[in-house]
Every structure is written in C-alpha cells, then in structure tokens.
Amino acid sequence: SKNLNSLAVLRAPEDVYEYVKDMHNLPKEQFRGLYLDTHHKVIHDEVLSIGTINASMVHPREVFKPAVEYGAAAIILVHNHPSGVSTPSESDIQVTQKLVQVGKMLGIPVLDHVVVTRTDFTSVPVDY
C-alpha cells in the first residue's frame, strides 16, 4: 500500500488507470487489488502477485483476505501488460469470472478488472 491515497475515489477505469501510474512501465506483470469502502474510496491497496497471471495461480483467498481484513465493500482488480497490448487474455477473462463468482458469494463485489499498459487500458468484461 505504498501509494495509498486515502482521497482516491475510483468510479471508472480511467480513475484506476490514473491511480496506478506506478504500474504503467513495470517490466513484469503485477496483479493488484484495490479495496474500496462504500463511497468507492481506496482503503487498502495490495500487490497480490507478480509474474504472468493465470486462473490456476490466482487464489480467491489471497484476493478476498484483505477485503475481509479491511472491511472492504468492493474490490477493483488491476494488472499490467508489459507487452504494451492492453487486450485481456483468455486467462485474464477466466481469472476475472472466477473472482466475480467468489465476490458474489461473499457479498464483496468485484467491480472491475483493468488491464493497464504504458499508454492504454482495457476493462475486462465483468458479467453480472
């Protein structure tokens, strides 16, 4: 939570892209959870894994543990593509769907999953 800006309010993918400026130029993929209160303010921010993300490597417990610990009302996921292409991979979509399902069960919705690059971002489709 190094750049935790308690005033950050994240309502749109643009806000997320701006908030995670420090990720735009990373040489490796980073998968990060932004934990929000009921007013969409960031109350906690954590790097959950480093390296290529795939569905088998992202454990829901690691994503939702901080949510429970910090009393988050919702989560936004974000990761970077060092390749510069922000199109979500098949794996990104699978990870997102898996975590959205878990969020529904726990009552802590995953609002968005934003893929960021140096110049661009794409929101992974979240089906509700």
pLDDT over 60 (residue 3) = no
DSSP conformational letter for 51: S
Q: Write out the H or E segment, with its range, that includes residue 90.
A: helix 90-106
> How many beta carbons lie within 10 A of that of residue 47, not counting itself?
13
What is the band of 54 on the pLDDT scale with cuts at 50, 70, 90?
Answer: low
Q: What is the pLDDT of residues 77-98, one digit of tens each?
A: 999 999 999 999 999 999 999 9
Q: Can you give the pTM of this predicted structure?
A: 0.90
In this prediction, residue 78 carries a pLDDT of: 96
The Cα 17–Cα 47 span in angstroms is: 15
